[in-house]
Structure 1
Amino acid sequence: MTDPLVRLENVSVRFDGRPAVQHVNLSVHRGDIFTIIGPNGAGKTTLIKALVGLQAVTEGTVERAPGLVIGYVPQQLQIEPTLPLHVGRFMALSGQPEAECRRALERTGIGHLMASEIHHLSGGERQRLLLARALVRRPDLLVLDEPAQGVDINGQAALYNLIRELRDELNCGVIMISHDLHLVMAATDKVICLNQHVCCSGFPADISHDPAFIDTFGHSVAESLAVYHHHHNHSHDLHGDVVSRKAAEPAAHGAHCNHDHH
């Protein structure tokens, strides 16, 4: 196996002596999709901020591969309501050439919004804009904090499908936080259940049986996930509406999924 893009060894973060994250070990390689789940206050955002270097660690070490390029997608876009700012200008603030900015917007399905005011974008369009901003430098590691926040259920499926496609195209690693447990089980390779420390981790098909997972999320959630299946027989457009597969084929960025829930 190749060297990890990032490795956390015995990482702890404390605020005013209070533990936010305790003794976490984690390695992310190219091709990985890790999803961090856990209750509110579990330290999920603190952990990924430590991973990308936005938060100092109190204990332990964070090792990043030399020259590592990280694309970071925060929970939401915070812009002063009275500040006029269009999509093209926001992308230009990345310092990358206009052609690269336009290419990233096209890849996330919002190239047609280049001249639109950010304040007029829908929740899903804003999340795709943040993703495009993270992609413009072609990252080795894509880090996403609640990437589907403010997006409806069908739009979430499309967004997670796009993240998997980008992982394949860029051969990058992905680590993200999510509360959308059913979609996570379909969209991720490995799951980390965090409640300040790592309660359990593993493949999605196995983790719902872990006693620590059941203690954190309850029997009803664990049972529903244990029989969850995800197949592909229709598509969603960028607004989350279902379209036929034939109709979706010309659209390079459609998300294919069928929700076969039992």
Structure 2
Amino acid sequence: MSLITAENIEVRNGGTRALFGVSLALEAREIVTVVGPNGSGKSTLMRALIGAVPLQAGRITRRPGLRIGYVPQTLHIDRALPMTVRRFLNLPNRVGRAAARAALARTGVEALEQRQLAGLSGGQLQRVLLARAILNAPHLLVLDEPTQGLDQPASASFYRLIEALRDEMGCAVLMVSHELHVVMSATDRVICLNGHICCEGTPDVVTAAPAYRELFGTGTGGALALYRHEHDHAHDHPHGHADAPCHDHGDHGA
């Protein structure tokens, strides 16, 4: 049984349709990267899959007993509130000292255990968030743009860590990224999203697909290009195929 299956789901943010007709399945041990322009519904998809936002249509099925570790896109920290990394790992449930240290060691930040959370660099904070996400030995790690604000060497290092954790823990990974050129070697499957699934497949298949080129341009090495393709509302194309053109139906959420 797949870890998570989404069948023709639709999600609205207020009156705006953020996702429509999205169907996908996540399998054990695979690394799947979701790419797409701003406003394409990537974060909404992550939240829908973990049950944090309601569906207007469709169905999401999770394997019984599925454990999910989630790393959010941002964490707003009140710098006036003293909180060490160790105390943060106790939220919302207290964890033993050995388990906390093991998780921090796995993500390469064991030395930060007694540091103030508000004083960490962006890269350090992401590794602490990742340590918290793996405390429950998840079957699936969900990461929403985990390297936002990091430079390319730090991003590449973080993605290598994700791949190593997958190999060590045997978990699947679902992540949002604008940096396909960085995650390429560590990604088993890419989903190109723009409200619906434009195309999906291995990185080589997707980067050669017309839908991907429409969204990301050419010659960018995978970096997000300006969204400049023709709007064609005459008919719909099948979703989930590498040759399915990607259309903007003018009704996408942020």
Q: Shorter-chain TM-score: which interval?
A: 0.7 to 0.9
Partner of 2:216: 217
CA-CA distance at 1:185 after TM superposition: 1.5
1:27 to 21, 25, 28: 25
Q: 1:94 to 1:103 in 2, by over 3 A?
A: farther
Which of 59, 62, 81 in structure 2 is aligned with 1:61?
A: 59
AA matched with 2:137? R
Q: Note the C-alpha offset of 1:187.
A: 2.1
Shift of 1:94: 4.1
For residue 82 of structure 1, report the CA deviation from its aligned partner. 0.8
Q: SS where residue 81 of structure 1 aligns?
A: coil
What residue in structure 2 maps to residue 100 of structure 1?
99
* Range with greater deviation from structure 2 (59-68 or 148-157): 148-157
| 1:228 paired residue number | none
Counterpart of 1:49 in structure 2 is 47
Distance (Å, rounded) in 2 between the aligned partners of 1:112 and 1:53: 34
Contact 2:156 2:183 in 1 (8 A): no
The number of residues matched between the two structures is 221
Give the AA of the match of 1:213. Y
Q: What is the deviation of 1:196? A: 0.3
Deviation per CA, 1:186-234, whole angstroms, max 9, x where unpaired? 221110000000011110011111011111111233xx45xxxxxxxxx
Task: Confirm or deny: 8 A CA contact 1:86 1:117 kept in the other structure.
Answer: yes
Contact map agreement 1:94 1:133 (CA 8 A) in 2: no
User: In structure 2, what is the equivalent of residue 198 of structure 1?
Assistant: 197
3-state DSSP of counterpart to 1:63? strand
Task: Work out whether residues 32 and 187 of structure 2, in 8 Å CA contact, stay in contact via their aligned partners in 1.
Answer: yes
Partner of 1:12: 10
Gaps of 5+ in 1: 226-262
Could you tell me how far apart the structure 2 residues matched to 1:13 and 1:186 are?
A: 31
* Aligned match of 1:185: 184
| Greater RCO (CA < 8 Å, at least 6 residues apart) | 2
Q: Would you say 1:139 and 2:141 are equivalent positions?
A: no
| CA distance in 2 between partners of 1:105 and 1:94 (Å) | 17
- 1:121-132 to structure 2, matched below 5 A, reads 121-132=120-131
Indicate the SS of the match to 1:175.
Answer: strand
Q: Which is strand-richer, 1 or 2?
A: 1
TM-score normalised by structure 1 residue count = 0.82
Counterpart amino acid of 1:31? R
Q: CA deviation at 1:76?
A: 1.9
CA distance in 1, matches of 2:118, 2:77: 8
TM-score scaled to structure 2, two decimals? 0.84
Match status 1:163 vs 2:166? no
Q: Match for residue 70 of structure 2?
A: 72
Deviations 1:160-209 (A, max 9, x none): 01101111111111100001121122221110000000011110011111
Write the distance in 2 (CA, Å) between the matches of 1:149 and 1:94: 25
Distance in 2 between residues matched to 1:153 and 1:16, nearest whole Å: 35
What amino acid sits opposite 1:134 in the alignment? A
> Equivalent of 1:91, from 89, 92, 105?
89
CA-CA distance at 1:131 after TM superposition: 0.2
* CA–CA separation in structure 1 for the residues paired with 2:13 and 2:86: 38
Q: C-alpha offsets along residues 80-128 of structure 1, whole Å, 9 cap, x if unaligned?
A: 1211111010012242222111110011000011000011111100000
Q: Does structure 1 conserve the Cα–Cα contact (< 8 Å) formed by 2:68 and 2:140? A: yes
Greater helix share, structure number: 1
CA RMSD of aligned residues (A): 1.1
Q: Within 1, Cα distance between the matches of 2:50 and 2:90?
A: 22
Between 1:87-96 and 1:30-39, the stretch displaced more is 87-96
